[in-house]
Amino acid sequence: MGVGKGKLARKLAAFTGQFAIDTDDLIESLENKTTKRIFEKYGEPHFRKLETKCALWCQNNINNTIISTGGGFYTQQNICSIGKIVYLKADFHYILNELKKDKNYKQKLEKRPLFVDEKKAQKLYDDRALAYEMVADIVVDIRHTTYKHVIDEIIKATK
């Protein structure tokens, strides 16, 4: 949910020599549409079905790879069998402030259909935060730290 999963996955991949993939990118390729367009045209339930298809594909075809997932991916029943789950923890206002600092803020917001309305996004975050922690194997607080520190924490926790 805007916490920087994709960017961190790419940095972690560069550090470890592994590949990094993003489930939202896989879904967009599968549908030949942006996540925003999929939500607009078919709705959230359709997108969640695509996530399920993506989760099964990851489970059956991906090894030794860093997978950055969309914010709702935690609901996939097979998520624990895909690999170690890392929750990049930050409070809602920290995430929002970090997004707003980015020069591409408006474009980033447009890519997040469930984040457009700030009040709804806050509620969604509140609804998901505990579930994220419960499904995670590793929880790393990303507030006020560096990517290097977060990468070190993840590597230490996965050894």
Looking up tokens 């700030």 gives 118
Can you list the domains of the chain with their CATH numbers? 5-69+80-158 (3.40.50.300)
C-alpha distance from residue 34 to each of 24, 71, 79, 88 (Å): 9, 15, 23, 24
pLDDT tens for the 159 residues of the chain, in order:
578 889 999 999 999 999 999 999 999 999 999 998 999 999 999 999 999 999 999 999 999 999 999 888 999 999 999 999 999 999 999 988 888 888 887 777 777 766 778 898 899 899 999 999 999 999 999 998 999 999 999 999 988
What does the chain come to in residues? 159
pLDDT of res. 1: 58
User: Among 63, 56, 64, which residue's Cα sits nearest to residue 26?
Assistant: 56
C-alpha distance from residue 95 to each of 61, 101, 106, 122 (Å): 32, 10, 14, 10
DSSP-based three-state secondary structure for 17? coil
